[in-house]
Amino acid sequence: MKHSSRLDQEIHQDNMMLVDKERNAVNGRVLNQADFPKTLPILPLRGLVVYPQTAVPLNIGQPRSIRLIESTAPQNGLIGLCASHDQERTMPGPGEIYRIGTVATVHRQLRRQDGTIRMLINGLNRFRVKTFVATDPFLVAEIESLPEEISVTAQTEAIARNLVDMFMRLAEFVPNIQGDLLASSLNHDNPLQLVYTIATYLQLNLNDAQRFLEFNTVTEKMEWLVRHIGKETEIMEVGQRIRSEAFGQIEQAQREYFLREQLKAIQRELGEADERVGEANAFRTKIEAAAMPVEAREEAERELNRLTKLPVAAAEYGVVRTYLEWLVNLPWNLATTDNLDLAHAKTVLDDDHHGLDEVKERIVEFLAVRRLRKGRSVDTAVSSYRPDRLGAILCFVGPPGVGKTSLGRSIARAMGRKFARISLGGMRDEAEIRGHRRTYIGALPGRIMQMLRRCQSKNPVIILDEIDKLGADFRGDPASALLEVLDPEQNRTFRDHYLDVPFDLSEVMFITTANTLDAIPGPLQDRMEVIRLAGYTESEKVAIAENYLLPRQIHENGLLPEEIQLDTAVLQQIIRDYTREAGVRELERQIGRVCRKVATAVAQQSNLDTTHSRQISVTQLTSLLGTARYQPDTMHRTRTPGVATGLAWTSTGGHILFIEAAKMPGQKGLTITGQLGDVMQESAQAALTYVRSQAAQLGVAPTFFDKHDIHIHIPAGAIPKDGPSAGITIATALASLLTERPVCENTGMTGEITLRGQIMPVGGLKEKVLAAHRAGLQQVILPQQNEPDLAELPSEIKKALTFILASTMDEVLQAALCTD
């Protein structure tokens, strides 16, 4: 049995009919205990609960239900109404209906042509099913009365009034309930009839309706209705507010549309072009002038056609418009003319940087090739097979402060090209290189295309700074995205995800910078021409300070050139006592400190127009810069047997390190400290094994190792250290300890050792030798196989140092250990 789908107004009208015409009869039909039947036919209801003292229309069509109505009418006219658990169940059994229901009487009925019966029933009292006595032809149950507890107090009266007010407020949100009809329906003195009438209007879901029917007191029913109506009212108010906002937006859109149509009409009358038409014509002109490739032009025209069909208010309009602006503003055919004057290039590079001959030579070679290819015809067969490579991809590797980034700016100035810089340090999102796809809100092209648009040139010099500090996470790997950008065979048709059309990057000169190659993936290294910048010698630093750093600091600190003078001796003292670096950053900071001290003294003068020249002497450095930060200590530390000076390479340049060995009573123990990596610990073990195997030749007692422990330590324990190049230094320190012969003063060494005492070549030789020179060493022991690397050293370093090339450990010990 289903609830009728007629309008609620019909229900209210039927209820009002009962109230106005038969109110006394209805109240008289409320059954008392004496008239309450013992058994009753049960009519299961689907999705509906009928309350006492209410009238509800029903439609019945099941044969079992029709037989129940037909057999009931000749008798007392009473039926039992119980809700079914499952609304989809057409003929529920005794175990599939609720046990608490309502005794009702059929008020009116009408048989339709399709055989169904339309009727209006009136609920009377509650009952509980005790047991079912029959199931065929319909359900019959033995029942008992279940009256509600009614207590009329001041509290219930207050709740009832509040309940009516709240329900009237809720009814304002239901348009199909008439206010006057509702007010008369709620005009009841009986609180039980009031709550049941309100519950009928609320049309509760089945579970809530059955739960409400089963409450045993009027107070429970009222309090539950107050909570439920309060919640429903809040939901309806929020819904009305949302609808009001939506209607307001729709009205605003309609108003804007109306105004736009009026504006179009006015423009037509004035002979002016439509805004969209004018914008489309402007884009069409820019597309013609941009000289795009065929594919890019076709995409631009396709998007332009879409733009002309979209209304200005559409969200897609702005997306398409932004995309077209990017396409027409890219430098598809804009390029600067290279200055191929080789003498000019050399002059610019020399003016900006001291030394760095290898880099300058490479740039001059690049320009020379461009000049020859421009002035001579090229074999057409070759050029058709392999397109011209008009750009270059260089990688400057070196410690901080050697001028890697500033070199890129000087190269751009020497060639007459635009310059751009992109910092890659910490970059983790692949979209920073390739761009975001247009499906994302706020999508933009990658950094490469953004720089090209800013430069308005398709052949700029672009510095990709800190390429060794790229990251990777769930958003992709930027290093992999750079493979296409930095590949001369692929970047001619580079596709940005946002633009989705090929762009030619082959004319761009890419220069990457890094402190070390270890963090750069091998495939990416393979695409770049690596140029190493090992660092500067002392004389080069002096020249850089005199020609570049000091004039810049004088200008930045507001001084005049004649107000401060730092001669070569002062600069050398600053380099030796206050800096220890491969580059010149710290040197410039110390020069800046001196200039600020002088600027303070000048500013305190009473007459600033009077200039006084201040010659800074070596003795004044302590008062200006404080005590010396670095002292040469190699001579003092190696006087004790068991200490050797090694040379190490780091991402910040070359450094010296002291390796110490000590012996103590024990049983063949080996302790290694100084935060060493696995490779360095293995080198220490290999060095000890070699020394033990050569104990007899070194004059060590055969039982020495059985009664002693060895401790190898490398100071500066807070700094991680690793690598195989300390092998010969560790072996020398052990040999010095066991033979009690100190290592020669001012001697440093580097090289990998094998168990047989062979010396293997190592890398970073130039940086290590420069570090030895900075530390004041005079003799350096190197592997024999590193002899070709000596050609890269500056001539002044070769003159200042003595190099001993060794192929075995015997040669190392012979040169390193003092005879006395």
Strands 39-45 and 139-145, by their bridges, are antiparallel
DSSP state, 758? B
Q: Are 86 and 145 in contact (CB under 8 A)?
A: no
Q: Are 710 and 669 in contact (CB under 8 A)?
A: yes
Instruction: Return the closest-CA partner of residue 30 out of 108, 123, 148, 145.
Output: 123
Q: What is the residue whose two structure tokens read 């958003």?
A: 475
The Cα 813–Cα 734 span in angstroms is 11
Instruction: Return the closest-CA partner of residue 397 out of 51, 764, 6, 814.
Output: 764
Give burial (CB, 10 Å; 0-12/13-18/19+) of 57. middle
The Cα 721–Cα 717 span in angstroms is 9
Residue 799 has phi, psi (to 5 degrees) of -75, -35
Does 623 participate in catalysis according to the annotation? no
Bridge partners (DSSP) listed for residue 662? 711
Q: What is the DSSP string of 118-181?
A: EEEEEEEEEEEEEEEEE-SSSEEEEEEE-PPB----HHHHHHHHHHHHHHHHHHTT-TTS-HHH
Does 346 participate in catalysis according to the annotation? no
Question: What is the signed CA dihedral for 73, 77, 78, 83, rounded to 10 degrees?
Answer: 40
The Cα 425–Cα 403 span in angstroms is 17
The gap from C-alpha 435 to its chain's centroid, in whole angstroms, comes to 14
Strands 461-465 and 509-514, by their bridges, are parallel
Instruction: Return the closest-CA partner of residue 389 out of 511, 504, 522.
Output: 504
E strand or H helix at 60:
strand 55-60
The Cα 199–Cα 228 span in angstroms is 10
What is the amino acid identity at position 79?
A: I
Strands 55-60 and 2-3, by their bridges, are antiparallel
What residues contact residue 17 under an 8 Å CB cut-off, 6+ apart? none
Name the 3-class secondary structure at 805.
strand
- Which member of 404, 418, 721, 768 is catalytic? 768
Omega cis (within 30) before 137:
yes
Name the 3-class secondary structure at 756.
coil
The Cα 757–Cα 755 span in angstroms is 6
- Which member of 84, 185, 725, 736 is catalytic? 725
The rounded radius of gyration (Å) of the Cα atoms in the chain is 48
Q: Are 305 and 285 in contact (CB under 8 A)?
A: no
Name the 3-class secondary structure at 312.
coil
Instruction: Return the closest-CA partner of residue 166 out of 100, 254, 240, 236.
Output: 236
The Cα 336–Cα 457 span in angstroms is 6
Instruction: Return the closest-CA partner of residue 11 out of 57, 54, 47, 45.
Output: 57
Strands 39-45 and 78-83, by their bridges, are parallel
What residues contact residue 252 under an 8 Å CB cut-off, 6+ apart? none
Catalytic residues, which ones? Answer: 725, 768
